[in-house]
Chain A
């Protein structure tokens, strides 16, 4: 079947995007143990900052993109400091944190819609990316960058986890926050850094989406949900799990709709979620 190489390529692209979302989500989840739904809107925020800097302020992309990534990281950091940290200090339950993150999501999405309108827009307006093809599958330059970046980030994260102090502190906190505090780790500070890095990764996702498909204020929630599914399938709180789960999801979705109508894509994703939650809730990589 002639269609398989293209579907495989589509799967890899989808998997990379989901993996990027899952990285950040897992980093935050493993240290704070709650479902941070505002992660979804940080993705969108990153994309729009780059849009604003490069389109409205006409700054060079080489400056806009790094600034966008930092801004996204900053937003996540800010949310942690003013909402989630105070709540954790009050020993609020996970559900309260989840609802609060939902609130943050709604507010930020509304603000973005007001500032930039609901209109669909793109970071690559007026141009199409250079296209390449191999074995009758087509893909663009942006997509190649996307996949490479995802892999690089995976490598970078795994190295950082093993070799740096931050990485070790992160692992300590994910294992047991109380014990980490006892051993002298400033958990609040470390979690702050984790939020920054995780949110910066979300920003990168949004920027890629902006170039590849486009930007719309409402695109955050669907992406986030896929990232969460990827994380659960692979193993919640586990970086490698998220990466693996993302590709499992990407492939399942795209190969699934060869036969079924394309409209059922989301249903496939959630069915997989439910199946895993019933039969293997700890995910593929059981920790």
Chain B
């Protein structure tokens, strides 16, 4: 039971990340490869606040969302000027720079040593120690994220995003300042990633820079593409498959060294096959 809850928690965290990234890639057409870094910003904010001040969970969540919004606002000002593969490239750069900050800002982040001893969530006085109770928290936050995403996607704001994805120049002709839209959705996406980060930090109770490197961003992207672009259901599906896969592989009995590499081989293979034969993903509505 405890193990199922563990899987459920990991799934919820990645599902939030996949959904947040899909808003950028699937609905707005921005190939962002820095979601893991934003995930990290949320996680580190939560970690620092937890270990230095011992705040309650929702206080920490609030601040970590704020931090995510600030970081995404500043970097978004830069990023939103680009599109297509240049956007991807600059977002790679963003990921690298943020990781560098995690690794070198020793006084706050403890550098490569990471931060440990993060407290499990403290909600109005009760501490969520068991996996099962944490899972409930995680699922609730996932549900909230989904609702907000659905709202965004179905709104007129969401329609503008899709037009930007399909033909940015047309909509600029009509007087829409696309830069502002791209910036705003980036901030929403980052806020959600911060939620995932806070959950992650409070659950694993230990974080370090390596959890948020470029390869992780690629992993999240793979989930989105696999499940299907521009489909919230797709992101859930993609997260489910890619989270279950390593767990399943673990039990197949590959020696531990090989199992980890087999994961990456399979992700890579999925990416290639999907690009060749089904670029819209399993249930997606849009091809890259």
Contact = CB atoms under 8 A, between A and B. Distances in A.
A–B proximity contact (CB within 8 A): yes
Interface of B, helix, strand, loop or mixed by DSSP: helix
Contacts of A113: 261, 264
A267 interface: yes
Question: Which of B85, B100, B214, B261 has its CB near the most chain A CB atoms (within 10 A)?
Answer: B261
Contact of B218 (A102, A110, A267): A102
Contact of B288 (A96, A232, A281): A96
Interface string B55-94: 0000000000000000000000010011011101110110
A106 B93 contact: no
A110 B221 CA distance: 18
Interface residues of B, number: 41
B245 interface: no
B159 interface: no
Contacts of B215: 221
A84 to B, nearest CB: 10
A127 interface: no
Nearest to B98: A267
A270 to B, nearest CB: 4
B82 A277 contact: yes
A274 interface: yes
Interface of A, helix, strand, loop or mixed by DSSP: helix
B272 interface: yes
A86 B276 contact: yes
A107 B265 contact: yes
- Those 7 A-B pairs whose CB atoms lie nearest each other, nearest first: A103-B271, A106-B268, A107-B268, A110-B265, A103-B272, A270-B93, A100-B275
5 contacts: A92-B288, A110-B263, A111-B261, A113-B261, A266-B100
Given A228-B89, A277-B82, A277-B86, 11 more contacts: A35-B88, A83-B276, A102-B271, A103-B267, A106-B218, A106-B265, A109-B264, A109-B268, A110-B261, A266-B100, A274-B93
Interface of B: 31, 78, 81-82, 84-86, 88-90, 92-93, 96-97, 100-101, 103-104, 214-215, 218, 221, 225, 257-258, 261-265, 267-272, 275-276, 279, 287-288
Interface of A: 34-35, 83, 86-87, 92-100, 102-111, 113-114, 117-118, 221, 225, 228, 232, 261, 263-264, 266-267, 270-271, 273-274, 277-278, 281
